[in-house]
Amino acid sequence: MHDDRTLVEARLKRVLDERIRPAVHPESVPLDVAVWNAPGEPVPVAEGLAGPVEPIAVGDRWGAPWSTCWFRVSGTVPAHWAGRTVEALLDLGFDENMPGFQCEGLVYRPDGTPVKGLNPRNQWVRVGAPAEGGEEVLLHIEAASNPVILDYHPFLPTRLGDKETAGSELQYTLARMDLAVFDEHVWNLVQDLEVLGELMAELPVEGARRWDILRAIGRALDAVDLQDVNSTAEAARAELAGVLATPAQPSAHRISAVGHAHIDSAWLWPLRETVRKVARTTSNMTALLEDEPDFVFAMSQAQQFAWIKEHRPEVYAKVKKAVADGRFVPSGGMWVESDTNMPGSEAMARQVVYGKRFFIDEFGIENDEAWLPDTFGFAAGLPQIIKAAGSKWLLTQKISWSQTNKFPHHTFRWEGIDGTRIFTHFPPVDTYNCSMKGSEIAHAADNFKDKGVARHSLAPTGWGDGGGGTTREMIAKAARMRSLEGSATVEWEKPADFFTKAEAEYPDAPVWVGELYLELHRATLTSQAKTKQGNRRSEHLLREAELWAATAAVRGGHPYPYEQLDRIWKTVLLHQFHDILPGSSIAWVHREAEKTYADVAGELNGIVDAAQRALAGDPAAGRDLLFNSAPHARAGVGAGAAGAAHRGSEGQLAAREGGGFVLDNGLLQVEIDARGLVVSAYDIGAERETVAPGQAANLLQIHPDFPNMWDAWDVDAFYRNTVTDLTGLDELTPVEDGDTVGVRIVRSFGRSKVTQLLTLTSGAKRLDIDTEVDWHETEKFLKAAFPLDVHAERYASETQFGHFYRATHTNTSWEAAKFEACNHRFVHVEEPGWGVALVNDSTYGHDVTRTVRASDAGATTTVRVSLLRAPRFPDPETDQGVHRFRHALAPGAAIGDAVREGFRINLPERRVTGAHEVAPLVTVDNDAVVVSAVKLADDASGDVVVRLYESTGGRARVRLGTGFAATGVAVTDLLERPLDGVTAPELTEEGVSLSLRPFELVTLRLTRG
């Protein structure tokens, strides 16, 4: 037989595009359309429905950037359509290639009842099935004119990302507003042909199955009368029935489809728009669940449920019913799909606490899975947190985006820093926006790396990013692939059902140890510095507020601000969403975030101040009290206590031969040369130099920063090829202030200016570095380098509840790919017996490299902290303005010293005038054990909750002492519930004794007498 394959395939494409798809709606009549351009921000539904409208026609422009237009569409069903299925086709001017990234709408009935959302691939609204002839149709559309930020030429700078700069040019052209007959037979023929055509394209040309499908398609196309598709569609479908009915092979890969709409809580739209996106999508999904009995939809992010509850109670009622029916599945058990690299220990724990508690309280559902498809890599401390919250599974997708190395597993057990293992799935479909295309299903089966030992994978199915969700077409295609020869099988399932099957079939899944590093989007550790600083400061202020409020409540009955702290925690957790904290959202989002963080700081400082004044007593007594919020003693004041500070002897400042100054406090001697660079940091007790020979520390360096794409997200390795050392000096002056000595350094470069204050404080073996940058560069990357005379093949960077080691070498492509990585409060490098810590108060990105010196064959380990970037997309003014950073170099530091100094710089001492000292609420007798939280229990019982962890990576015995009468103790999960099967430790007059594994996290709930 002659090979006519390409002829049939080309015929299929044209006939589908030009004849069959248009025949899905064979008859139509135009609707009358009027519009009200709502001024300012979105208005309540009742106001939108009542707005004064004026006529508008198809072809007219509408919608200034970020505005809302309320369309009223009306018409009459023609009498001769009686008994047929009728739909309204409402095209606001969509580009079908951009689902989730442009205008959207929510359709209402005249009484304000939401019907469904309108999106680029979902433009229909059912009017009648069957319709009544002469029926009057009246619908209202709340249409959001969200401008297209990520266009066909992506990453071009645009001012559209903030309503204050976006202008007023109309964005969209009204495309279609019709009533139309819906022909279900033709629609089904489209689904048949698409499924078979897409499957055929994935099958080997040599295989019989491909040719069976080709011949059936040819016969079906022969059966179609191109002049009368509607009357011949059933005959065409009959020619396809045989190949559609051929079942899948028993060995076929099995895909669990989960309805999904990954909605970024903010990204190329502001938070307020996400509230509406969620309402549109959930309206779509609840309607679809009513029509499709096999369909299951899962939605993560408790925050998004809370938004619907608050802003769209009528939509929420439908969601709650669908959840109760088991069809709409709250998934993931987190407040938002957060970044997991940068959130601190407690914040990461609270993400799961608040998410799970919301789902338990609202729906009586507790998730066993964490659901984070789009997060930009995963910190090595996360498995323990997931387990400590009572969960056991993790789903992610983004690792498929890695540029260099392909991850070796799709189903595996992920081991964190403490040894906790979490059963993890990484869907081989390689998208969290699966649309059930044949190419996606075939890719999932072919790509699956665990063949021979496992057969199940998951496919999150539906349009996401900006929302929309699953469509009726996706469901129809999935139904045809439930068992279809040549294809993987597809079945709608809840995430828990998938994980249960996957874990049962693969009990000996391979283990991946350590972080799940995304080899992409590394610059998100630095972009939008003020957002990151706001997060870090908020995390530590929350620690302080809980600690002192709990202490004041237990000691003196001071009111504990349960509701206020609850609200603030949710605000901070929301802003840890994986496009807000990473700095990859539009300008509007980060402008609002800066204000929000300022408000949060104001409230939390108010809580702290009130609690500390209640504890300190009468200020007229005149005692100067230092309140120490850190988990280690400071200046003679215990952790969580307040008392008189004790200082060491004052430091000395002298001129340095050859220019510059020498600082000396008896512990460190620091030389700063005439360029204002640190050329020596000598550990006097260890008789050890910190700075590598012939080099200078605190060296500011600037690189060009123009990645190939994803400007705010990415820094490409070639940025290192060009570097400029900033050694020009405007000013170098000595500073003496009480028990500190130092120098002030001012430099100018480009259009920017940096001022640094380098100081030694009495009694402290560290050099404090305060940096202020007035930053006006574009597409530049600013770093501070510290070349250390340390031979280290690995270094430690802090992560949640511990630290994680990374290599300083680049033996393999896996190490080389980690050229920019995340740390929390410290980076630590050491040789046996002596190390150096570099701590910070708000930076995350860094790089560590290792070289061997030609002069003496010694090794130099260079730690560089990332300070600022200046990408132009999606915010063209990213980081312009004044920034302040605090770092400290601690020579001779062991890992425990690094932990202590990291807390110290992030929890500055507070001074309060009062009458008496304050004893700590709880104490620990081992500095290796860090108390990460002291608070009252969330259920307002008055119980005291203490969370602690081993911080050095070793075994630790510790006694927790209580500064109050405790009558009982329980070991709990993160939700403060006693752990099943765990015997409570003995509570004695001395407190509670514990034995901790390396990095072990423990939560104790203490009952007060």
- Show which residues are catalytic: 374
SS (H, E, C) 167-207: CCCCCEECCEEEEEECCHHHHHHHHHHHHHHHHHHHCCCCC
Q: Quote the tokens at residue 85.
A: 């299925």
Q: Residue 130 burial (CB < 10 Å; 0-12/13-18/19+)? A: exposed
Helices marked H in 557-662 — which ranges?
Answer: 562-574, 587-616
What CA–CA distance (Å, rounded) separates 94 from 84? 27
Query: What is the DSSP secondary-structure string of 639-686?
Result: TT-EE-----PPPEEEEPTTSSEEEE-SSEEEEE-TTS-EEEEEETTT
What Å distances lie between residue 584 and 163, 264, 266, 304, 872, CA to CA? 17, 11, 9, 20, 11
Determine the 3-state secondary structure of 298 from DSSP: strand
CB atoms within 10 A of CB 729: 14
What CA–CA distance (Å, rounded) separates 669 from 680? 8
What CA–CA distance (Å, rounded) separates 515 from 416? 7
Q: Residue 674 corresponds to which amino acid? A: A
What CA–CA distance (Å, rounded) separates 256 from 963? 53
Phi (first) and psi of residue 344, to 5 degrees: -70, 180
- Is residue 198 within 8 Å of 246, Cβ to Cβ? no
What Å distances lie between residue 925 and 609, 646, 948, 996, 999, CA to CA? 28, 21, 12, 13, 17
What CA–CA distance (Å, rounded) separates 542 from 629? 11
Question: For the chain, what percentages of helix, strand and coil (3-state, to nearest 5) are there?
Answer: 30, 30, 40
Interstrand relation of 456-461 and 254-259 (parallel, antiparallel or unpaired) = parallel
- Is residue 679 within 8 Å of 693, Cβ to Cβ? no
Q: Quote the tokens at residue 434.
A: 């699966």
Q: Quote the tokens at residue 634.
A: 């400071």
Q: Quote the tokens at residue 646.
A: 């004790």
Interstrand relation of 489-492 and 254-259 (parallel, antiparallel or unpaired) = parallel
Q: What DSSP state is assigned to residue 325?
A: T
